[in-house]
Structures are given as structure tokens and as C-alpha cells.
Amino acid sequence: MRKYKVIVEYDGTNYFGWQYQKDVPTVQEELSRAIRRITGEDPQVLGAGRTDRGVHALGQVATFLTSRKLPERNWVLAINRYLPPDISVRHIEPVENEFNVIKDAVSKVYCYTILNQEWRSAFWHRRAWWVQKRLDLEKMRAAGGYLVGKYDFSSFETANSPRCSSVRTIFHLEVREIFEVGRLIQIWVEADGFLYNMVRNIAGTLVEVGLGKILVERVPYILQRRDRRLAGPTAPPQGLCMIEVKYSRS
């Protein structure tokens, strides 16, 4: 049996997240079904992260085992042939059987996109959170700076999440402004791991800061108190995208 690593992109609008669930469509099930049609085997697809319902990905990473042999390019074409148009395999390569797509990951990169303009957009409504009132980017950047480092992020974790530890390290957090199509604000976050809804809760908090509802200077206090009730709301899922899973720090 040979293990393969695949990089998958998808529009999460029509799916109940990555992880398999009974009687509802998921990305993992669609990918498993496509591989099964090629190999005739149960592929047992394992993903690097469990994106939630409505969340997108450009760089989800998954692995599967098979005895079927095909050239790498043929694998991509064959799997994509059986996938729906909102899921696509970008790359596939063989890896050592000892490779663990979850445990061997050293960091993940997510991007949260906000459409910040007065009028709604037909183009961005599945890709961004529409916030009409103008956001103060400098305040958002200053607040985001307080979150870089190794901390207990309980204040940015959805309550009652079954985690052994809420300590994570954010390596990089950047707030970008783009004017190509309207005013887009993107929050890019790279960390060694993420708690449940952590990026969406950070995005909701930074938007509150940008609207003047939370003071920049209050963010360290929110972080220190480890109380989810003190932070901002959970941003809607459609603005979130998994960009990349890294297996070496570079």
C-alpha cells in the first residue's frame, strides 16, 4: 500500500464542513467517494484540519492509502473527474507511510476576508463578511499585534470546546487592505494550531475594534482574562479560508 498526500481546494458553501457526518454532504466524503471510484478501495481519507460548515479552503491537505498505481498527473485528473465543481485536487504526491498529515504539520495559515463598503456585493457574498460601516485599519492592526505570541486563547475559543489545552502560538497576524474590487480587508493568521472558531472569533473582535466598540488597549485584558464573553462576536463562516498547511517552518 502506498500513501499519497493531496492538496485540495473547495468552496465550502454547500457542505457541512470537512469532516464526515451522517446524511449530510461533506468535503471529506466527496473526496473519499471520488478516490473509491478510481481504486475500488476504501481510501480512509484523513485531513489536516476540520473546516466548519461554509468555510473554504485553497490548501487543505489530506492523505490516503491505496494499492493502485498511477502517475501523479493522472491521479489529479482522475480524482477531479469524479469531484463536484466546487471541490478540486490541486496537487498529489507519494509520501512515506509514516507521514502524519495532522501531527507532522508545524503551522497553518488562514485568511479572513471582510467586504467593507456601503453596498452589498453579489460577487463576494459567499467569500466575505459584509460590514457596511468603515473600519479603522490602524486600530485593527494595533489590536492584532497584541495577539502575536504564545498565549492561552480561551477568550477566542468557542465555549465548551473539548480541548486539553487552549495554549497556541500565533507566529504572524497581518491586516491587509485591498481596493481591487470594492474595499476588502483581510486578516491573515499563521499559528501552530487553532482552537474551535479561533480565527472567526479573532476576526469578530478586530472588527469590533475597527468600529470603535472595543478599545485597542482592552485586547490584552481580554486575552489575559480567558473569558470568551469579553471578546467580540464569532464572524460568519463564509469569510474564512484555509490557505496553507506547512510541514516545515520557512
Residues noted as catalytic: 52
Q: What are phi and psi of 177, to 5 degrees?
A: -120, 130
Beta carbons of 33 and 42 less than 8 angstroms apart: no
31 to 73, 123, 165, 198: CA distances (angstroms):
17, 27, 31, 26
| Angstrom distances, CA of residue 133 to CA of 95, 118, 207 | 48, 7, 10
198-210 vs 137-145: helix crossing angle, rounded to 10:
130
Helix then strand count (H, E) for the chain reads 5, 10
Q: Is the dihedral of CA 66, 72, 73, 76 positive or negative?
A: positive
C-alpha to C-alpha distance for 127 and 186, rounded to whole angstroms: 11
